[in-house]
Amino acid sequence: MVVVRPAVLPKDAAGIGAIGTSFTTSQVYDVDASADSIRLTIRDLEGPFCKRFPLDDLESPTRPYDRAWVAVDGERIVGFAAIVFEPWNDRLILWHLYVDPASRGRGVASRLLETVKDHGRERGARHLWLETSSLTAPGHRRLPRLGLLPDRRRPDLVRGDAGARRNRPVLFPPPRPVPLYV
């Protein structure tokens, strides 16, 4: 049974670092920003593309998040979520949400995200915010099941070129009118 608990850093760093953060995809999103919207268009690649996201801030005293949780199955850490609350705009920022490949599809991300949302409610957050890459098309397809939908109203935050392997942020706050209060 998977249990979510607060992460203890740097003690949990090795277990968190062992989580597989890679994925392979044959599709990416092209991101087109206009003055008032963002359009995402799925595009097939000529061949598979593999990407691994580093978790290189686990032992850093200057990491950008101040709270983190791990999902533990027995003795093994199988998931990780990390956030920071910004009180000036009541925003909870999700810096990391990773589930080990062998544990994907078992509700681990949902449990971690529910913990994150509960913490946000306690702190008075009105928004849950994450930025992701246009390369992570497989993850984008899972986000609506977690209650996260693209916010296409902030084209000013999209930058970079249109290359298939360039990171271009796509914003996923909670859907309206669900409060986070969510």
pLDDT value, residue 152: 56
Judge residue 53's burial from the number of C-beta atoms within 10 Å of its C-beta, 0-12 exposed, 13-18 middle, 19 or more buried: middle
**CA end-to-end span of the chain, whole Å?**
26
Q: Where do the domains of the chain lie, and which CATH numbers do they carry?
A: 2-171 (3.40.630.30)
pLDDT value, residue 131: 75
Region 32-44 average pLDDT: 79
pLDDT value, residue 141: 76
Give residue 175's pLDDT band: very low, low, confident or very high (50, 70, 90).
very low
Dihedral pair phi/psi, residue 27, rounded to 5°: -135, 150
Q: What is the pTM of this model?
A: 0.80
Q: Is the dihedral of CA 132, 137, 142, 143 positive or negative?
A: positive
| 64-102 residue pLDDT tens | 999 999 999 999 999 999 999 998 888 888 999 999 999
Q: Which residues are CB-contacts of 123 (< 8 A; sequence separation ≥ 6)?
A: 85, 87, 92
Give residue 158's pLDDT band: very low, low, confident or very high (50, 70, 90).
low
SS3 at position 33? strand
- In order, the DSSP letters of 63-83 are -S-SEEEEEEETTEEEEEEEE
| 124-156 residue pLDDT tens | 888 888 877 777 777 777 777 777 766 655 555
